[in-house]
Structure 1
């Protein structure tokens, strides 16, 4: 859908006059500036002229699709599908997850309304600390980046304590309901993933302290970009945490890397995308790799994604599950999730660089 919000002429003029991209507080304002046809050079993040041509449409038919209800009705079949999807792709699309369509639709509406608020109404949430409970900002970490990304974000910590903006009206309540339901889905998936590794169903949950683990709730806004062939919404990266569950507003843009090729992910209506995170690669001792993914842009429609990263407890030492080390050597050294989270949130994104730092 095209952007429906308007900004004042003074906001547009001020945004257009800014040269230093590190000082831009909202890419949405830049995108809506009158007459904008070029993007700041510091947003030129596609290194090769034909980078987007490295896509593999023939792989789209092979994208793993898992029916969540099978974990109850046909568990052996579901575990087989989970094992294959996690080992070969590092992600899957999830259907029949039980989260009401109406809740997902309302959350998407409220997410758009938040990003449509005037800048001055969002200033109280300015991102200054990776452990701040509510953060609003742009790009990923502008202070640490040489290249910036065409997105605005809202990041909140919604578990073990729930934090969320009090505006627009109703956003907090809808987000709370959704975040709780996502945790239940993530927990059930982790039980299945544990069993698919030959472990007890509660093995990953207990070894990571999941029941008191961190949940990061992110609402991304990717406005139309005048030069989408030059910029990215997010670069190639893997996620922290164990499982990331994502939904989007029907506008494509997510790509995952599979066999060295980028694959466009166009989801079914009300389907969830499940991405394996770095800590799942660690606890599985490399059997289930976290997936590289990125967000590409277009010049016509605004894309919104709602992303919930479900991770270990902050003070838990995360390493390969002990049972897996009875017959194999550890591939990763242990590290407190708090330390990993802080490093990942304060440095520029670069593929799996943070995970590589703890690889043995």
Structure 2
């Protein structure tokens, strides 16, 4: 007997209409990954076990010791130009705060399904939202992931707007990350050969959004991904993303998340970027980094234009930056 005709759009809408995300599928006891989540085999799990040693940046005594200061700048310059990524230790954020933030994310997803549904929306203009796959209807394949998003700065929500199970730690964690962000933007500015306050003066550290991801246990992890390959759409996250304004001197790390059948996972990403809805400021390659031998490689754009294109394109494995290349 022939298989029934696959109506992808209908299946996507049916999934979205549940407003329970991937977590809802798992809670219902699903044993097969639905077709809307199946990725091409060459895009999923790489069987090669490659051990990578990421650049490690130790910020201990960075502000007090001139020798340590220079060492950190040099290491960040090398890591940002070669990897687009570095790990930071002795960053000043207490372990308790980080643990409580991760626990807060789990508490959000552990809420009763009807409580979670209150936050579910496809309106990307909302400052607080919960959904599964922002690019659900435009990506080649959906990812095995749900996300709770909140814009926390420069105009934070009022306390009562946030879920009671995690709102206090969201504010505490955000305040800590904003302090760290100031230090990191100073380091990145100096690593580019600019004054320490240059990126801050460009408003790169002004806005911050919190993305709380949940990757449920997956019955067939070899068929899908937690997050497909992509580079982020902001100035700075845990993964460095200053490529457009640095004119390729610093690169944007492409990354992905594998699904697994052992346990669920949570992660928290903080995106530093201006508010795409209110900021009309143009961003392009920094003039001080340009010369006749190194002309601009990207045209200027607003955060709003960049984010709109990024969201429309979705996580299709290609860089949004190429759209703005001259």
> What is the TM-score of this pair, normalised by structure 2?
0.88
* Alignment match, 1:334: 300
Question: Once the two structures are superposed, what CA deviation does each residue of 1:223-257 show, in whole Å capped at 9, x if it has no partner?
Answer: 1100101100110000011111xxxxxxxxxxxxx
* Alignment match, 2:82: 88
Distance 1:204 1:168 in 2: 33
Distance change in 2, residues 1:77/1:225 (3 Å): same
Structure 1 residue 339: Cα displacement = 1.4
8 A contact 1:127–1:136 mirrored in 2: yes
Distance 2:36 2:11 in 1: 8
8 A contact 1:71–1:192 mirrored in 2: no
Distance change in 2, residues 1:276/1:38 (3 Å): same
Distance change in 2, residues 1:151/1:202 (3 Å): same
Question: Once the two structures are superposed, what CA deviation does each residue of 1:135-154 show, in whole Å capped at 9, x if it has no partner?
Answer: 10012321223411101110
- Further displaced range: 130-139 or 286-295: 130-139
Residue correspondence of structure 1 range 1-360 to structure 2 within 5 A:
20-24=11-15, 25=19, 26-34=21-29, 36-48=30-42, 51-57=45-51, 60=52, 62-72=53-63, 73=65, 74-163=68-157, 166=161, 168-169=163-164, 171-207=166-202, 209-211=203-205, 213-244=206-237, 274-277=238-241, 280-312=242-274, 314-327=279-292, 328-360=294-326
Distance 1:312 1:168 in 2: 24
8 A contact 2:44–2:258 mirrored in 1: no
| Superposition RMSD in Å | 2.0
Distance change in 2, residues 1:123/1:49 (3 Å): closer
Residue aligned with 1:66, SS? strand
Residue aligned with 1:157, SS? strand
Question: Once the two structures are superposed, what CA deviation does each residue of 1:40-99 show, in whole Å capped at 9, x if it has no partner?
Answer: 112111432874125522xx2x31011122532310000111011101110011111111
Distance 1:237 1:292 in 2: 5
Distance 1:27 1:229 in 2: 16
Distance 1:171 1:188 in 2: 26
5+ residue gaps, structure 2: 1-9
8 A contact 2:231–2:319 mirrored in 1: no
Distance 2:44 2:132 in 1: 26
8 A contact 1:192–1:201 mirrored in 2: yes
8 A contact 2:221–2:261 mirrored in 1: yes
Residue aligned with 1:198, SS? coil
8 A contact 1:165–1:171 mirrored in 2: no
Question: Once the two structures are superposed, what CA deviation does each residue of 1:110-143 show, in whole Å capped at 9, x if it has no partner?
Answer: 1101011122212232222222111100123212
- Further displaced range: 93-102 or 313-322: 313-322
Distance 1:82 1:43 in 2: 37
- Further displaced range: 99-108 or 163-172: 163-172
Distance change in 2, residues 1:51/1:116 (3 Å): closer
* Alignment match, 1:250: none
8 A contact 1:151–1:233 mirrored in 2: yes
Residue aligned with 1:82, SS? helix
Distance change in 2, residues 1:132/1:167 (3 Å): closer
5+ residue gaps, structure 1: 1-18, 245-273
